[in-house]
Amino acid sequence: MTIQRTLTIIKPDAVGKNAVGEIIHRFELAGFKIVAMRMERLKKDRAEGFYHVHSDKPFFDELVEFMTSGPCVPMVLEKENAIEDLRALIGVTDSKKAATGTIRQNFGTDIQCNAVHASDSVENARFEVNYFFPDIKV
Ligand code: CMP
């Protein structure tokens, strides 16, 4: 199994719930190393650029509004099999359907306000890490 890096974002809903520390603790307990991290309030064009693959989806405008509604915490995490393992730890997109004990089940509300984002492939991890942390190698 190879060491991978992946991008996660603790989203504005989770930041608003004071859940940043608890979510980071979950990442660390699961064996992820924090390679980079900062708090940032996304501007509209930054959120649109990050989610450009969803620009034709009906939820795009609401998604951008949500992601710009308050500060978020983008982070680069590292671990063996990081991409798949992080997605298992956070649970499926819809917080209402996420498995018991997952981060989205514990801290998210619905399909949009789902507490965290995580890269879903090696290719997207490369784009997403570079989008927020151009100095970090993937
Ligand atoms: P994320 O994993 O960051 O990827 C795209 C985001 O769009 C998703 O989490 C949700 O926050 C948001 N979203 C809102 N509605 C939907 C939907 N119907 N399907 C998928 N994602 C949605």
Would residue 19 count as lying in a domain? yes
Closest atom, ligand 1, to C-alpha of 62: 14
Structure confidence by residue, pLDDT tens digits, 8-61 = 999 999 999 999 999 999 999 999 999 999 999 999 999 999 999 999 999 999
**In the chain, which residue ranges form alpha helices assigned H by DSSP?**
12-16, 20-29, 44-50, 60-67, 82-90, 103-107, 122-132
Residue 72: predicted pLDDT: 99
The protein residue with its alpha carbon nearest to ligand 1, atom 22, reads 112
| CA–CA separation, 25 and 31 (whole Å) | 10
Would residue 114 count as lying in a domain? yes
pTM summary value? 0.98
Cα 112 to chain centroid, rounded: 12
Q: What are phi and psi of 36, to 5 degrees?
A: -155, 150
Structure tokens at 14: 């989770």
How many domains, the chain?
A: 1
Would residue 64 count as lying in a domain? yes
Residue 1 confidence (pLDDT) above 80: no
Q: In what order do the strands lie in the sheet with 73-80?
A: 33-37, 73-80, 3-10, 116-118
From the CA of 53, how far away is ligand 1's center (Å)?
Answer: 11
Residue 35 belongs to domain spanning: 3-132
CA-based nearest residue to 99, from 110, 107, 91: 91
Our mutation pick for probing the ligand 1 site, out of 8, 48, 95, 111, counting the most ligand atoms within 8 A of Cβ, is: 111
Would residue 7 count as lying in a domain? yes
The protein residue with its alpha carbon nearest to ligand 1, atom 3, reads 117
Would residue 138 count as lying in a domain? no
Would residue 24 count as lying in a domain? yes
Would residue 137 count as lying in a domain? no
CA-based nearest residue to 78, from 15, 21, 17, 133: 133
The protein residue with its alpha carbon nearest to ligand 1, atom 8, reads 112
Would residue 106 count as lying in a domain? yes
CATH code, domain with 12 = 3.30.70.141
The DSSP secondary-structure symbol of 2 reads -
